[in-house]
Structure formats: structure tokens, C-alpha cells
């Protein structure tokens, strides 16, 4: 039995239809004694009635701000800008530890309110491996959009679909561009390879071993590149502006699943803003053309599949919430970030 009160919040990002806990897993949590409050949400892929039937309490969108202080608030994407001070423990993807834009402001809100960020990206086992991630579906969608765009078959604006619909579009692809997946052995890389397989395409696969001595000329020989690398330390970029201006470049479509734009870990410093569902493709170069796809919420385009997989991975961790382990590591990472921020602000004060 667990005393935990978990509060599933409505996502403020209007295109976010995923959820970290699906109704069937909510039922399992309730059966184990957890109190689960679910905010009604117009866009969540699962209707609120399914959570109600699973034994959850229902609350209004955004009402987590007045939840009892011990409640753990769960979501996926960014919090709304208000309140300025965050007093709860929040489980979501904060994107706050790699000096991303807005990271210091978010940490500052937690420090001001006495709350804590339990960042899902840092929910790891004792060997540092991620325990719950959307990577597979991010890679799947990134490669799918890249190849569909390259073949002139991408329909915009993008909208969430089912896997059957997406696969039917991929199966209809007839061209066979030379494709490259970097980070091919990871979760997103596996997803990218799976999507390309549905399109009948066999990509070149690079991971750590193949990029140690990066062959840029070989890279630029590919027509479609999908970057799915996750690096935790700055490394030399895979592409620079100079490479894009190479006259012999065959690369036409670049999909950056990683989307580390603005971070020191960025391996593709050839663009400075991500793209989105309304405008998924941005032209980076003319003659020869080079188009960029860099969407930071790719798995939301397959909200059902992505939520079901993620929730299945998160369920055992939520059941063990009070025993610590991975959650303690998340909390320690948050405290470290808080100390680093405090030290940095101290430095600025002394300049």
C-alpha cells in the first residue's frame, strides 16, 4: 500500500495529447492504495471518463496549484508560467540541466517555492540508464517525417495520427534515398530504423564507433540524415555552416530528433530554432536545397502508442515511489542543479 497522492495535470501545450499514466495503469495505482487525481483535459488522448472508471478523482485543468503540499504533480511538458513559486514535487521533463533557454528561470521558481523537480530524463537505474523514455517513438516519427518530406509526400500541418495511418503512408513511399541514422543503437535510433524499414529503406547506421573519426564527406553523401544522438558532454559538431555550403553536398533533408538547439551539447549548430507541427520544415540552404525538421514533441504525433509504452515503464517506478532508488537520484540531480545555479548567481554578483 502507498500513501502517495499523485496528481496528473492537464498539459498547457495545446498539441500535447500524451499522458505519462494511461487509464489501465491508473487503475493499478489506485488498486495499490494510491490516491490519483486527474485533471480534465480537452486534448489528452484518453477521455477523463476512463480515469474516473479506474477510480481516480477528477479535478479542473490547472487546479494542481492548490493541491495539498505533499501531492506529487505529474505531467510531461513545460509548466505554465504561473505560479512564480513552485511548492510541490513535480515529475516531468524539465529540460533544465543542460543550460537550455529558460532553465535557470524554472529552477529559480522551484527554489523560490521550496518544491522539487523530479526530472523524467534523469530517472535512471544505478548504471545511469534511462528507465522511462519516449525515444523510440521520437526516432520513428523523425525518420518517417524526413523520408515523407524527402519524397514530397509530407502533409502539413502535422496532426496526431494512429500508427496504422502513418505506416500506410510510409509503405506507399517508392523512392529510395540514401539515408543515415546517427545514434542508431539507441532508443530513437532503433525507432528511426523501424520506420525506415516500413518505407523499405535500409539506412547507413552510425553510432559512437563510426563518429569517433567523423567522415564528413561520407555524411554529406547521404540525402536524408536523422540525428538521434544523446551526448552528456560537448563534442565536435557533426555539421557546421561550412559543410552546408559544400558544393558537392547531396544532403537534402536533415531531421534533428535530438533538438539540443541552444545547449552546449548541440551537435548540429546549423540552426537556431526548432520547427513545429504547423511549419515542420524550414529551408536552411537553396541550390542545392537543404531542409530541416527539428520538432521537439515528435512522439505526441502518435499519442496513444507513445503514452502506453511510457506509462508501462513508469508504472513500477510509481508503485515504488516511496522506496527511493531512482527517485532519490532524480532529487539529488535537482539539488545539484540548485547548488550550481546558486554558485553561478553568486559569481555574477561578484563580477
Residues 6 or more apart whose CB falls under 8 angstroms from that of 99 comprise: 263, 264
- Cα-atom radius of gyration of the chain, to the nearest Å? 21
Residue 280 makes contact with ligand NAD by CB under 6 A: no
Choose the stretch contacting ligand NAD; rule: CB under 6 A; options: 33-41, 99-107, 289-297, 309-317.
289-297
Asked if residue 157 has a cis previous peptide bond (ω within 30° of 0), the answer is yes
What backbone torsions phi and psi does residue 78 show, to the nearest 5 degrees?
-55, 150
Q: Which is nearer to ligand NAD, 19 or 188 (CB)?
A: 188
Q: 6 to 45, contacts with ligand NAD by CB under 6 A?
A: none
For the CB of residue 86, give the shortest distance to ligand NAD in the complex, in Å: 23
Residue 235 makes contact with ligand NAD by CB under 6 A: yes
Q: In angstroms, rounded to a whole number, what is the distance separating the alpha carbons of residues 184 and 161? A: 25
For the CB of residue 330, give the shortest distance to ligand NAD in the complex, in Å: 16
Q: Which is nearer to ligand NAD, 107 or 184 (CB)?
A: 184
Choose the stretch contacting ligand NAD; rule: CB under 6 A; options: 159-167, 179-187, 307-315, 328-336.
179-187
Q: Which of residues 5, 211, 269, 285 is near ligand NAD by CB under 6 A?
A: 211
- Is residue 74 a contact partner of residue 18, using CB atoms and an 8 Å limit? no
Q: Which is nearer to ligand NAD, 64 or 140 (CB)?
A: 140
Bridge partner residues of 312 (DSSP): none
Residue 208 makes contact with ligand NAD by CB under 6 A: yes
Q: Which residues are catalytic?
A: 77, 95
Residue 228 makes contact with ligand NAD by CB under 6 A: yes
Choose the stretch contacting ligand NAD; rule: CB under 6 A; options: 19-27, 155-163, 294-302, 335-343.
294-302
* CB neighbour burial string for 126-162, b if at least 16 within 10 angstroms, e if fewer: eeeebebbbbbbbbbbbbbbbbbbbbeebeeebebbe
SS (H, E, C) 48-114: HHHHHHCCCEEECCCHHHHCCCCCEEECCCCCCCCCCCCCCEEEECCCCCCCCCCHHHHHHHHHHHC
- Is residue 104 a contact partner of residue 341, using CB atoms and an 8 Å limit? yes
For the CB of residue 315, give the shortest distance to ligand NAD in the complex, in Å: 19
Bridge partner residues of 38 (DSSP): 8, 58
Q: In angstroms, rounded to a whole number, what is the distance separating the alpha carbons of residues 109 and 137? A: 31
User: Where do we find the cell 563534442?
Assistant: 235
Q: Which of residues 10, 17, 149, 187 is near ligand NAD by CB under 6 A?
A: 187
Residues 6 or more apart whose CB falls under 8 angstroms from that of 148 comprise: 154, 169, 170, 173
Build a one-symbol-per-residue string for 250-279: x at contacts with ligand NAD by CB under 6 A, - elsewhere. -------xxx--------------------
For the CB of residue 267, give the shortest distance to ligand NAD in the complex, in Å: 7
CB atoms closer than 10 angstroms to residue 61: 15
Q: In angstroms, rounded to a whole number, what is the distance separating the alpha carbons of residues 256 and 30? A: 39
Choose the stretch contacting ligand NAD; rule: CB under 6 A; options: 57-65, 97-105, 181-189, 336-344.
181-189
Residue 134 makes contact with ligand NAD by CB under 6 A: yes
For the CB of residue 32, give the shortest distance to ligand NAD in the complex, in Å: 28
Residue 138 makes contact with ligand NAD by CB under 6 A: yes
Q: Which is nearer to ligand NAD, 50 or 308 (CB)?
A: 308
Residues that bind ligand NAD (CB under 6 A): 133-135, 138, 182-183, 185-189, 206-208, 211, 228-231, 235, 257-259, 295-299
Amino acid at each position: 500500500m502507498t500513501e502517495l497522492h499523485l496528481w496528473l495535470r492537464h498539459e498547457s501545450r495545446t498539441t500535447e495529447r500524451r499522458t505519462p499514466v494511461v487509464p489501465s495503469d491508473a487503475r493499478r495505482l489506485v488498486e495499490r492504495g494510491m490516491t490519483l487525481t486527474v485533471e480534465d483535459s480537452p486534448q489528452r488522448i484518453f477521455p477523463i471518463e476512463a480515469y474516473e472508471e479506474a477510480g481516480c478523482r477528477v479535478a479542473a485543468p490547472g487546479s494542481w496549484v492548490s493541491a495539498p503540499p505533499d501531492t506529487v504533480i505529474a505531467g510531461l511538458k513545460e509548466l505554465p508560467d504561473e505560479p512564480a513559486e513552485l511548492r510541490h514535487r513535480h515529475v516531468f521533463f524539465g529540460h533544465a540541466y543542460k543550460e537550455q533557454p529558460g532553465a535557470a528561470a524554472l529552477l529559480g521558481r522551484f527554489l523560490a517555492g521550496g518544491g522539487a523537480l523530479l526530472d523524467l530524463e534523469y530517472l535512471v537505474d544505478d548504471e545511469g540508464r534511462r528507465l522511462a523514455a519516449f525515444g523510440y517513438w521520437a526516432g520513428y516519427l523523425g525518420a518517417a517525417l524526413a523520408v515523407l518530406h524527402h519524397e514530397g509526400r509530407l502533409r502539413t500541418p502535422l496532426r496526431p495520427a494512429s500508427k496504422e495511418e502513418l505506416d500506410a503512408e510510409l509503405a506507399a513511399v517508392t523512392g529510395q534515398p540514401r539515408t543515415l541514422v546517427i545514434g542508431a543503437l539507441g532508443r530513437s535510433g532503433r525507432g528511426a530504423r523501424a520506420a525506415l524499414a516500413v518505407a523499405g529503406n535500409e539506412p547507413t547506421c552510425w553510432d559512437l564507433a563510426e563518429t569517433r573519426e567523423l567522415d564528413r564527406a561520407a555524411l554529406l553523401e547521404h540525402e536524408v540524415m536523422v540525428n538521434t544522438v544523446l551526448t552528456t558532454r560537448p563534442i565536435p559538431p557533426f555539421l557546421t555552416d561550412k559543410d552546408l555550403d559544400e558544393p558537392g553536398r547531396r544532403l537534402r533533408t536533415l531531421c534533428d530528433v535530438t533538438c539540443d538547439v541552444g545547449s552546449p551539447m548541440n551537435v548540429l549548430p546549423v540552426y537556431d530554432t526548432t520547427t513545429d507541427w504547423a511549419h515542420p520544415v524550414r529551408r536552411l540552404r537553396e541550390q542545392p536545397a537543404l531542409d530541416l525538421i527539428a520538432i521537439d514533441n515528435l512522439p505526441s504525433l502518435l499519442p496513444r502508442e507513445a503514452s502506453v509504452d511510457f506509462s508501462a515503464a513508469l508504472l513500477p517506478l510509481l508503485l515504488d515511489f516511496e522506496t527511493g532508488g531512482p527517485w532519490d537520484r532524480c532529487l539529488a540531480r535537482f539539488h545539484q542543479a540548485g547548488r550550481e545555479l546558486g554558485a553561478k548567481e553568486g559569481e555574477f554578483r561578484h563580477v
